């Protein structure tokens, strides 16, 4: 899954550790999400969306092609 986590974090001028504190996860989790090695739970995705004041789909995009 593609995401805008790193860009959104940079726009806020937050470190990975600061974002992790806000989301109540580890810095390693933030890094794994940013690098595409980990897809967050729905609960964490909603928490991030509220934090960034965006919709989940504005942060996370499915890389699979849509079925016709």
CATH code, domain carrying 31: 1.10.260.40
pLDDT at 62: 84
- 31 is in which domain, residue-wise? 2-53
pLDDT per residue as tens, the chain (68 positions): 899 999 999 999 999 999 999 999 999 999 999 999 999 999 999 999 999 999 999 999 987 766 66
Name the pTM for this structure. 0.87
Alpha-carbon 46 to chain mean position: 9
According to DSSP, residue 56 is labeled H
pLDDT at 1: 86
Structural domain count of the chain: 1
pLDDT at 9: 97
Residue 68 lies in a domain: no
23's tokens: 């989301």
Residue 32 lies in a domain: yes
pLDDT at 66: 67
């Amino acid at each position: 899954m593609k995401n805008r986590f790193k860009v959104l974090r940079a726009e806020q001028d937050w470190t990975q550790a600061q974002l992790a504190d806000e989301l109540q996860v580890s810095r390693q989790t933030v890094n794994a999400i940013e690098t595409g090695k980990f897809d967050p739970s729905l609960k964490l995705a909603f928490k991030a969306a509220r934090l960034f004041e965006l919709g989940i789909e504005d942060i996370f995009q499915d890389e699979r092609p849509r079925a016709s």
